Amino acid sequence: MFDAIQAAPPDAILGLSEAFRTDANPAKVNLTVGVYKDESGQTPILETVKAAEAKLLAGEGSKGYLPIEGSAKFCDLTQKLFFGADHEVVASQRAATFQTPGGTGALRVAADFVHQNFPSASIWCSTPTWPNHPKVFQAAGVRVQNYPYFEAGCHGVNLDAMLATIREIPTGDIVCLHACCHNPTGADPSAEQWKQIADAVYERGLLPFLDFAYLGFGDGIEPDRSALMEFARPGVELLMASSYSKNFGLYSERVGALSVVTPTADSARTVASQVKATIRTNYSNPPSHGAAIVAEILADSELREQWNGELADMRERINGMRGLFTRTMAYRLPDRDFSFIERQRGMFSYSGLTAQQVDTLKEKYSIYIVRDGRINVAGINSSNVVPLCDAISSVLNGE
Ligand code: LMR
C-alpha cells in the first residue's frame, strides 16, 4: 500500500527551515519562519517564562489530564488579556474560550466546528494570507474563498476592493481577518478602516473570524487590540483564534486559544458543548505545561509587568530593524523606495522580491526568504543587515 504513495511537496514555510539547517554556508541568513530572533540570532526563552517554569516545577503535584476545554484559569486570563478585564464580552460570560495546541490548533477546531454546524458556509481569506489558512480550513472540509486585501503598488491595504467584495459575500459566510500584524504582508488597516470593515461585515450578516497571533508585536497590547475592539460590539457573534507562540516565545509548547463569542451566556454554554465534542474527537484535551506558564505570568502582577517589558523589547528590536533595513537599502538603491518596510508592523513584510529573485538569493548567498517574497524582519540584526542589503541590491540590479 505505501509504495503507491506519492511524496508531498515541502511546506512553503517550514520546508525552507529544513533546507536552511542543512546549508553549510556560515554566512547563511534565515528570514523564513515567523520566529523571533534576538540581536545574536537566537530565539531566546523569556526571563519571565523561566521564572514561571521554576515556580511551576516546584509546585507541580500531578500530571493528570486537563479538562477537554483546557485550564479554566488560562481561559479566563486569555479572555481578559484579549478583550480587556472589564469588557462587556467578559462580564456577560457570553464568550466560551478553549485552550488549544497553538493558534493553528484553534483554527482547526474552529474549522471543524464550522463544518459540523454550518456545512454550507465558506470561510473567506485575504489575498494573500498565511498559506496554511486555506489548508487547515479545507482539511476540515470547509470551502475557502478569497477577498482582495493587499495592493502591491502602495504596499498597503486596498480597502475599496476589500469592502466591495465583503458586501457581496453570502450572508452566513465567515470572514477570516488578521487582527494585527498581517501575515504575510505586514500591512494592517487603520483603526478607522477597521470600523468600516466591521460595519460591512455586520451589515452583510457575516461571521468575523479573527486570527490573532501577534498581540503586542505591532504597536503594543492596547493599540494592537483595536480591530478586536471594533468587532466586539454589543450582542454580536465572532470567532477568535489566538496564539502565545510569539508574544511569550512559547513556540514549541503549542499554546493557543479559541474564543467563541455568542449572543448570551446560555448560548455560550450550548456552543461550548459542541466545541468540546469536536476537541474530544481531535486531540482529546490539550497539553498543560505551556498554558500553565502563561497563566502563571498573567496572574502575577510582577511577572506580568516584566513580561510586558520583554514583549516591548522584542517589538522595539523588530521595529528598529525595519528602520535600519530601510536606511541601508536607501544607500544602495536610492531610486527604489523601501520606506514601506518601516511603516509596516509585526514580524513580516512583503519585500516585493519575485520567486526567481528569492531563488537567486538562496542559491548565491544562502539567504532564505519565503518564495512569495515575505521576509521575517525579526531575522535581521546589525551583523547581517549589510550583507543582506548588498545581496538584495545585487539581485534587484540583475547582477
Ligand atoms: C509563519 O507564518 O512563519 C508562522 O506562523 C509559523 C508557521 O507555522 O508557519
Whether residues 91 and 156 share a domain: the answer is: yes
CA 33 to centroid of ligand 1, rounded, Å: 5
pLDDT at 10: 87
Q: What is the pTM of this model?
A: 0.96
Q: Which three cell numbers stand for residue 222?
A: 492596547
Instruction: Point out the ligand 1 atom lying closest to the alpha carbon of residue 34.
Output: 3
CA 64 to centroid of ligand 1, rounded, Å: 31
Whether residues 261 and 130 share a domain: the answer is: yes
CA 14 to centroid of ligand 1, rounded, Å: 7
Q: How buried is residue 287: exposed, middle or buried, by Cβ count under 10 Å (0-12/13-18/19+)?
A: middle
Whether residues 329 and 390 share a domain: the answer is: yes
Q: Mark whether 246 is an active-site residue.
A: yes
Q: Which residue has its alpha carbon closest to ligand 1 atom 2?
A: 34
Whether residues 74 and 102 share a domain: the answer is: yes
Catalytic-labelled residue, pool 130, 173, 188, 194: 130
At 155-196, the pLDDT tens digits run: 999 999 999 999 999 999 999 999 999 999 999 999 999 999
Instruction: Point out the ligand 1 atom lying closest to the alpha carbon of residue 33.
Output: 3
Whether residues 313 and 286 share a domain: the answer is: no
Q: Which of 18, 104, 132 to mutate to test the pocket of ligand 1 (most atoms within 8 A of CB)?
A: 132
For residue 277, being part of any structural domain is answered with: yes
At 96-141, the pLDDT tens digits run: 999 999 999 999 999 999 999 999 999 999 999 999 999 999 999 9
Whether residues 95 and 163 share a domain: the answer is: yes
Whether residues 183 and 264 share a domain: the answer is: yes
SS (H, E, C) the chain: CHHHCCCCCCCCCHHHHHHHHCCCCCCCEEECCCCCCCCCCCCCCCHHHHHHHHHHHHHCCCCCCCCCCCCHHHHHHHHHHHHCCCCHHHHCCCEEEEEECHHHHHHHHHHHHHHHHCCCCEEEEEECCCCHHHHHHHHCCCEEEEEECEECCCCEECHHHHHHHHCCCCCCCEEEEECCCCCCCCCCCCHHHHHHHHHHHHHCCCEEEEEECCCCCCCCHHHHCHHHHHHCCCCCCEEEEEECCCCCCCHHHCCEEEEEECCCHHHHHHHHHHHHHHHHCCCCCCCCHHHHHHHHHHHCHHHHHHHHHHHHHHHHHHHHHHHHHHHHHHHHCCCCCCHHHHHCCCCEEECCCCHHHHHHHHHHHCEEECCCCEEEHHHCCCCCHHHHHHHHHHHHCCC
CA 105 to centroid of ligand 1, rounded, Å: 13
For residue 231, being part of any structural domain is answered with: yes
Whether residues 138 and 258 share a domain: the answer is: yes
For residue 51, being part of any structural domain is answered with: no
Catalytic-labelled residue, pool 37, 124, 188, 246: 246
**Residue finishing a domain among 257, 274, 299:** 299
Whether residues 93 and 23 share a domain: the answer is: no
Whether residues 11 and 155 share a domain: the answer is: no
For residues 16 and 13, what is the distance between their CA atoms, to the nearest angstrom?
6
CA 266 to centroid of ligand 1, rounded, Å: 36
Q: Which residue has its alpha carbon closest to ligand 1 atom 4?
A: 34
pLDDT at 399: 82
pLDDT at 220: 97
Q: Mark whether 307 is an active-site residue.
A: no
Whether residues 195 and 138 share a domain: the answer is: yes
Write the CATH number for 114.
Answer: 3.40.640.10
Whether residues 310 and 238 share a domain: the answer is: no
Q: Which residue has its alpha carbon closest to ligand 1 atom 5?
A: 34
For residue 58, being part of any structural domain is answered with: no
Q: Mark whether 211 is an active-site residue.
A: yes
Ligand 1 binding residues, C-beta < 6 A: 13, 33-34, 130, 132, 183
Range of the domain at 368: 2-45+304-396
Q: Which residue has its alpha carbon closest to ligand 1 atom 1?
A: 34
For the chain (399 residues), the mean pLDDT of every run of 10, in chain order, is 94 89 94 96 97 96 96 98 97 98 98 97 98 98 98 95 98 98 97 98 98 97 97 97 98 98 98 98 97 98 98 97 96 94 95 95 96 96 96 93
For residue 55, being part of any structural domain is answered with: no
Q: Which residue has its alpha carbon closest to ligand 1 atom 6?
A: 34
pLDDT at 278: 97
For residue 343, being part of any structural domain is answered with: yes
For residues 210 and 183, what is the distance between their CA atoms, to the nearest angstrom?
13
Write the CATH number for 374.
Answer: 3.90.1150.10
For residues 332 and 315, what is the distance between their CA atoms, to the nearest angstrom?
26
For residue 50, being part of any structural domain is answered with: no
Catalytic-labelled residue, pool 124, 211, 224, 362: 211
CA 264 to centroid of ligand 1, rounded, Å: 34
pLDDT at 18: 86
Instruction: Point out the ligand 1 atom lying closest to the alpha carbon of residue 213.
Output: 5
Per the structure, how many domains does the chain have?
Answer: 2
For residue 53, being part of any structural domain is answered with: no
CA 204 to centroid of ligand 1, rounded, Å: 31
